[in-house]
Structure 1
Amino acid sequence: MKIAVNGASGYTGRLVVTELARRGIEAVLVGRNPERLRAAAGKTGFEVRIADIGDQDSLAAAFAGADAVVNTAGPFARLGAPVVRAAIAASAHYVDTTGEQHYINEVFDTFTDAAVDAGVSVVPAMADDGGPSDFISHLVGETAGPVDRLTVALWYRDGSFSRGTLRSLDPNLLFDGALRYENDGWTTYGAASHATWRFPSGDAPVGVSKAALPPVATVPRHVPVGRMEGLLGGSFDALKVITPAVIDSLPEGPDDEQRRQGRWTISVEASGQDGRTVRGEVEGTDGYGKTAVIAVEAARRLVTDGAKPGVLAPSQAFDPETFMDFLSEHGVRWRVTEG
């Protein structure tokens, strides 16, 4: 098995490289800067291949011979599509770590037919906010039966963002441009359904705002649901005014200790058409580290276990319960409860 990592010299990319080396999976590191790529490779012995995202042929050539591609280079709305196209051209499965809701819908709309024709699986949003939230939403929806309303709330605290994440967070799309699924399609909307949300690890309700979360783009593709929306816990007013110059002045990302201190919680509530309420909860630490674990395991499963060709939501590509059980081995806690 050979996995290509696009953006391997970036913050998340290096964590993916470390995870591949830890698991003994052969890798090819792809990017533009030879020195940064060699530094990312370190003593792993991984091959380095140089390719520019603006040169489609060189990018496809860099992926040649790889069984799957893990793409960690954002903003995905600007940089993602050429990588998907090159992976398909190289007959390689594709996984990425995007959290960009609009981009996820774009991947489904643009690449489904090409992926089917090439016989490869394309699975976006395999990160700490995308994969687990899709899996737990599927398990909640399965328990609730036909779902009238499904709400997903995400809460980060005690950590910090990488520069790459901040560059990918377009406040206009993340908040005002958030999509809600209803009437068999996605649409922008006004006020969120909740002003506060009680998370399992919180002592009191937490203030929330509507947000463009990844599962709103993926879950309705495999869970029959009347309406679905996403909520983000905490205050993110600073994101609305932060400038590119300020982002450039920040550290590349949290150090190891800061990563370990960061906590994240996903809380899902489904109202069934029969009146039942089902809740699902996922909690973990070190979101960036868990993203590397999730992306590498997803690529590995596509290669060894297979999935149907096309663009797939996480729960369409993988069994949600066994994937969540795998994450439990890495300190992620999850449960589904009725009532």
Structure 2
Amino acid sequence: MPDILVLGATGYTGRLVTRYLQAHRDRGTFTFAIAGRSRTKLAHLVAELKLDVVNDVEVVEVDVMNDDEEKLESVVRRVKVVINLVGPYWRYGTPVVRACARNGVHHVDLTGETHWVKHIIEQYDYLATKTRTIIVPACGFDSVPSDIVAHLSAKTLRAALSPSSSPSVQVGVGHSASAFRLVGGISGGTLESMMCALEEVPSAALRSAREAYSISPVQGPPVRSPIRLLYTLPYLLPKTYGSILPLAPHDVATVQRTWGLLERFSSSSSPQVASDSPQEAHAYGPEFTYEEFLSTGTGPLAALRALATSVGLVVTFLCLTYLAPARWLAKKVGPASGSGPSDLKLEKGFVRCTNITSSAPAPGREVTHVKTSLRGHGDPGYLLTAIMITEAALACLTTSTLPLLGQKGGVLTPMTAFGDVLVERLRMSGRFEFESFVVRDRRDVGEGRKRR
């Protein structure tokens, strides 16, 4: 029985995931199978990557779109973890999640579709907790980096502000903001998911998913408008400006769900569980809020670039939403599903994320600010995404080392399911670097200075 099933292995990202699994540093500790709907494409992938289908890698022909539920379940129940790369997930993802939740098979995917995540939470979260199934949507560039930097900043604040004599004392986290810089392409799958949302998803479902805390089990504090024309990174000087980040609504919703799950778990756990377990789940606190944006740099010109970029994105979104010819054109000129850049272009991509998180105001204590940096080497939407989802799937194989919420199962988020286990796995991949420290000087002196 294989440990991992790569569902949609013949797509562009599926090939990257399969290649990464085949060459993984821990290759001798797990087995995997590849699945797709085309026997010809599967054979081509086997030949391309020189997979040993006799003694090592199993090949499964399955069509998520057309096969009946019984066949899908018969495939799923033979493995421990499904890496689901078949989207749009609103169209094709639900039967796979249902099969996994019924059979106790863990599931990770790459969705950026908040409306679909809300749907599977409502339908399968309870069942997944009963079967102890880990279901984690958004395990790629949507939304692992956002979830990680908020998690690391909160962890650094706890270490800085919790009295050493009472390490279990909860430290309230206030506002958290992330500025992203990146070089990389948009995938055909992302474009197809956008078109699916605009043309197939009921408008009521889209409106509901856009509400603050739409997928959080707890309603949080009021937040600023999620869409603004100009953003700034708090506290640091010189001031960093930024524009709308198209991925932000789903990333923010994911981080809000992390916050809500931790709040609910913390309030329901006994003090014995909360303080003694090495996989302790620390709540961020009731005043936590999160936002993110695309950095355009510092200075007046950066502010102008941010405004121009945001206006352009808003106009594009309105055209795609209300003008059918605009959607037709986007499908014609946009990247085709299953296509992607060359290996050379994959290597030239990168992502840099700078997060500033502040402690919540407290009587007799000054506000403390933490800077957390994430650096990813490679195209974030393709190469790094393949690494992130693969390491998340491998983390599912070591359930006993996961945070308590991960051990309980349910529809979770990257940090509530995997926490520091995933952070360390990404660090060991050699593609990611993380740094988190208390800021002693508002002047941004860069990573590695003023480190706590």
Question: Could you say which TM-score interval applies, normalised by the shorter chain?
Answer: 0.7 to 0.9
Tell me the CA shift for residue 15 of structure 1. 0.9
1:102-251 map, 5 Å? 102-144=115-157, 145-157=171-183, 159-169=184-194, 178-181=210-213, 184-185=219-220, 190=225, 192=227, 195-197=230-232, 205-209=240-244, 211-217=248-254, 218-220=257-259, 221-222=261-262, 223-226=284-287, 227-233=289-295, 235=309, 237=312, 240=317, 241=326, 243-247=330-334
TM-score by length of 2: 0.65
Which structure's residues are more often strand, by fraction? Answer: 1
Structure 1 residues 250 and 313 mapped into 2: Cα distance closer, same or farther (>3 Å)? closer
Tell me the CA shift for residue 26 of structure 1. 2.0
- Residue number in structure 1 paired with 2:426: 327
Alignment gaps of 5+ in structure 1: none
Q: 2:353 aligns with which of 245, 256, 266?
A: 266
SS at 2:18 equivalent: helix
SS at 2:431 equivalent: coil
Aligned length: 333
Q: Equivalents in 1 of 2:152, 2:176: separation in Å?
A: 12
Alignment deviations for residues 221-249 of structure 1 (CA, whole Å, 9 cap, x no partner): 33335333332446484764552222366
Tell me the CA shift for residue 184 of structure 1. 1.5
Tell me the CA shift for residue 204 of structure 1. 7.9
Alignment deviations for residues 293-324 of structure 1 (CA, whole Å, 9 cap, x no partner): 2222222221233432222222222232x432
Q: Equivalents in 2 of 1:224, 1:257: separation in Å?
A: 44
Q: Equivalents in 2 of 1:300, 1:278: separation in Å?
A: 30
- Residue number in structure 1 paired with 2:306: none
TM-score by length of 1: 0.84
Residues 358 and 368 of structure 2 are in contact (CA less than 8 Å); yes or no, is this contact kept in structure 1?
A: yes
- Between 1:145-154 and 1:274-283, the stretch displaced more is 145-154
Q: 2:33 aligns with which of 28, 33, 44?
A: 28
Tell me the CA shift for residue 66 of structure 1. 0.5
Structure 1 residues 187 and 297 mapped into 2: Cα distance closer, same or farther (>3 Å)? same
Q: Equivalents in 1 of 2:43, 2:340: separation in Å?
A: 20
- Between 1:302-311 and 1:112-121, the stretch displaced more is 302-311
Identity of aligned residues (%): 26
Larger Rg belongs to? 2
Residues 101 and 216 of structure 1 are in contact (CA less than 8 Å); yes or no, is this contact kept in structure 2?
A: yes
Q: 1:292 aligns with which of 364, 383, 386?
A: 386
Structure 1 stretches (4+) deviating beyond 6 angstroms? 186-189
Tell me the CA shift for residue 258 of structure 1. 0.9
- Residue number in structure 2 paired with 1:8: 9
Alignment gaps of 5+ in structure 2: 158-170, 263-283, 297-308, 318-325, 362-366, 401-406, 440-452
- Residue number in structure 1 paired with 2:167: none
Structure 1 residues 193 and 163 mapped into 2: Cα distance closer, same or farther (>3 Å)? closer
Counterpart amino acid of 1:40? L
